[in-house]
């Protein structure tokens, strides 16, 4: 729904909208063409262009075809069911988002119950092959008292877990959003970072068109990582350290009882930055992390 809103807004702002499925990119002496299959007619069509922004999501066909290592990005598979919200009952609260760390639901990521007004999203993610995502989600619905709620629709999609080392092809193309791998580790958040990715890709494309230097396409990754690299690195380290087992996840939940962890994590999640002005809080959290990761304290201690 949000994607369609953005498409309509772009068209309203003057963009020429073509709807179809990407097939390939052709190049000749006259320039570059994007070849796609038109949705309405089913015909193969082409559009001549100076530059391309590839924003076709995780497992991007554009990235695989055009960018080095574009086919080697790590990811988890996420699945969720949109259900009709029953209102407050049992463990379900329509004004609270639940993140569920339970190996029976997801052995390496997490499950969730996210209310959306009249509906709610119940789902999970995993990077391990062979996990029955539908069964895990059904079990989560039972545990949350939501198994008898009407299912509106179901959706599944890959979530990339690491930004690509390169976002451009050195010629006429730059990636944005999930195609570039810009989803936050640990949380799996991607919409905000996709919007930033679109902005920096547009900035890089405009700079390239203005200067004629294809090197300016590298600005997209440079601008994005300059602003978000540290947050991504911290969240990646947190996921690697604490998502390995239920025992480690219990320790992570214990840490989250700490008010300093809550404040610093809130800044990283909500405001996309790390707080640097409270060095003693960082020292205390570092000591607690060390104690938990070495097993010096029980998971319940905070």
Q: Is the residue at 184 inside a domain? A: no
Of the three residues 132, 160, 188, the one that is the final residue of a domain is 160
Predicted pLDDT at 291: 58
Predicted pLDDT at 301: 46
Could you count the other beta carbons within 10 Å of the beta carbon of residue 178? 26
Of the three residues 106, 126, 160, the one that is the final residue of a domain is 160
Same domain, 41 and 79: no
CA distances from 292 to 39, 297, 301 (A): 54, 6, 9
Same domain, 30 and 98: no
Query: How many angstroms separate the CA atoms of 23 and 223, rounded?
Result: 29
Same domain, 152 and 95: yes
Same domain, 36 and 98: no
Same domain, 30 and 93: no
Same domain, 39 and 79: no
Which regions of the chain are under pLDDT 50? 301-302
Q: How many domains does the chain have?
A: 3
Q: Does residue 179 contact residue 61 with C-beta atoms inside 8 Å? A: no
Predicted pLDDT at 297: 66
Full domain range(s) for residue 24: 19-49
- DSSP track, 192-256: HHHHHHHHHHHHHHHHHHHH--GGGGGHHHHHHHHHHHHHHHHHHHHHHHHSSSHHHHHHHHHHT
Of the three residues 136, 160, 184, the one that is the final residue of a domain is 160
Query: Mind listing the pLDDT tens digit for each residue in 121-176?
Result: 999 999 899 999 999 999 999 999 999 999 999 999 999 989 999 999 999 999 99
Residue tagged 């304290």 (tokens) = 297
Predicted pLDDT at 84: 97
Phi then psi for 6, rounded to 5 degrees?
-65, -40
């Amino acid at each position: 729904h949000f994607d369609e809103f953005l498409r309509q807004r772009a068209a309203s702002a003057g963009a020429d909208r073509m709807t179809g499925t990407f097939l390939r990119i052709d190049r000749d002496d006259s320039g570059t063409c994007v070849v796609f299959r038109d949705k309405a007619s089913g015909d193969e069509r082409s559009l001549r262009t100076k530059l391309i922004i590839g924003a076709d999501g995780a497992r991007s066909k554009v990235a695989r075809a055009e960018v080095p290592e574009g086919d080697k990005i790590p990811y988890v598979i996420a699945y969720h069911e949109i259900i009709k919200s029953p209102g407050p009952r049992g463990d379900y609260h329509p004004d609270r988002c639940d993140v569920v760390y339970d190996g029976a639901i997801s052995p390496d990521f997490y499950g969730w119950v996210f209310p959306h007004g009249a509906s709610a999203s119940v789902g999970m993610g995993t990077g391990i092959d062979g996990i029955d995502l539908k069964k895990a989600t059904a079990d989560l619905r039972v545990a949350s008292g939501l198994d008898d709620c009407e299912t509106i629709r179901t959706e599944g999609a890959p979530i990339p877990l690491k930004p690509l080392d390169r976002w451009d092809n050195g010629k006429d193309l730059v990636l944005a959003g999930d195609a570039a791998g810009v989803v936050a580790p640990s949380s799996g958040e991607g919409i905000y970072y996709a919007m930033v990715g679109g902005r920096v890709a547009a900035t890089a494309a405009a700079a390239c068109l203005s200067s004629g230097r294809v090197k300016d396409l590298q600005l997209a990754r440079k601008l994005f990582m300059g602003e978000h690299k540290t947050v991504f690195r911290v969240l990646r380290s947190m996921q690697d350290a604490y998502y390995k087992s239920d025992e480690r996840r219990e320790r992570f939940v214990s840490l989250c009882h700490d008010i300093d962890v809550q404040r610093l994590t809130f800044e990283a999640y909500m405001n996309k930055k790390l707080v640097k002005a409270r060095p003693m809080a960082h020292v205390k959290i570092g000591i607690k992390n060390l104690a938990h990761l070495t097993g010096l304290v029980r998971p319940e201690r905070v």
